Chains A and B, each alone.
Chain A
Amino acid sequence: DVKVTQSSRYLVKRTGEKVFLECVQDMDHENMFWYRQDPGLGLRLIYFSYDVKMKEKGDIPEGYSVSREKKERFSLILESASTNQTSMYLCASRSGQVRGNYGYTFGSGTRLTVV
């Protein structure tokens, strides 16, 4: 069974802390994504990566950075956490090579609370 694993289901961090959210997939997918999910706003793309060492800004990259040193791992970094970054964070991956199959596989999400 294919999997996208997010290291934490719940996190509580203090304002100003540096926060790392980890995502690992076991499907050998090239493409990986970080979204945040907020009520009434749906899913908004923070950053994505089409392959190892590559990264692209999504729609709301401010206050975030990412790292993709290995194909299976895509990390989201909050450089200095703020209360407006309290949210549900979803990681997703998809193959970059399967023609016609553009669906995502999602992780279970990380509920981050910044106090």
Chain B
Amino acid sequence: AQTVTQSQPEMSVQEAETVTLSCTYDTSENNYYLFWYKQPPSRQMILVIRQEAYKQQNATENRFSVNFQKAAKSFSLKISDSQLGDTAMYFCAFMKHEGKGTYKYIFGTGTRLKVLA
């Protein structure tokens, strides 16, 4: 069975600094997708970044980038130039197709990030 592990329940970072959130997963699949979601204190969760496993190039979205290590089954999120608005719970998620148009989506337990002024 697939699992997603976020080993850092809480982290903090100074404003303007860089922080990396870790995520590891376990799967025997070769084709899958990985995501990072952000849930600010207002609670609406939003998609930050996604990575297709067949792509070697790491995804980047402005200040957010990932370090995808397929062999190591690692998918970390790097936030550069941290801003106060980055304070949120971050969830790592794994998705794979299960055939017939269905798919399996698994979330990690989350990392609470606090950006300090």
Given contacts A45-B105, A102-B95, A105-B47, 9 further A-B contacts (CB under 8 A): A33-B105, A40-B9, A42-B91, A42-B109, A92-B45, A104-B45, A104-B105, A106-B44, A108-B43
When distances are taken between beta carbons in the complex, the residues of chain B under 8 Å from A43 are: 91, 107
Taken residue by residue from 86 to 117, chain B's Cβ proximity to chain A (1 for < 8 Å, 0 otherwise) reads as 00000100010000011101011110000000
Residues of chain B touching chain A, judged by Cβ–Cβ distance below 8 Å, are 4, 9, 33, 35, 37, 42-47, 50, 52, 91, 95, 101-103, 105, 107-110
Main secondary structure of the interface of B (DSSP, over half): strand
Check if B46 sits within 8 Å of A108, measured CB to CB: no
A 81-115 contacts with B by CB, 8 A: 88, 90, 92, 96, 100, 102-109
Residues of chain A touching chain B, judged by Cβ–Cβ distance below 8 Å, are 33, 35, 40-43, 45, 50, 56, 88, 90, 92, 96, 100, 102-109
